[in-house]
Structure 1
C-alpha cells in the first residue's frame, strides 16, 4: 500500500510544481518546472514498477 501512496504523492507534487510555477512565479521558471515534473514522473514510474512487482509476488504466494 505504501507504493500506491507514494505514487499518489508524486502525482500531487507534479501538480504543486506546475501550480507554483504558473501562479506564484508567473511562468518565469517554467523550463525548470518542466524538468522537475519529468524527474517526478520518472520516480512515479519507478514506484509503479515496484508496486507491480510486489503485488505480483503476493499473488503468486497465494
Structure 2
C-alpha cells in the first residue's frame, strides 16, 4: 500500500511543480520545472513497477 500512496504523492508533486511554474513564476523557470517533472515522472514509474511486483507476489 505504501507504493500506491507514494505514486499519489508523486502525482500531487507533479501538479504542484507545474502550477507553481506557470502561475507563481509566470513561466520564467519553465525549463527547470520541465526537468523536475521528468524526474518526478521517473520516480512515479519506479513506484508503479514496485507496486505491480509487490501486488503480483501477493496473489500467488
Counting matched residue pairs gives 60
In structure 2, runs of 5+ residues without a counterpart are none
- Which of these two proteins has the greater Rg computed from alpha carbons? 1
Cα distance, 1:26 vs structure 2: 0.4
Residue 28 (structure 2) pairs with residue 28 (structure 1): yes
The alignment's C-alpha RMSD in Å is 0.3
In structure 1, runs of 5+ residues without a counterpart are none
> What's the TM-score once normalised by structure 1's chain length?
0.95
Q: Which runs of 4+ in 1 moved over 4 A?
A: none
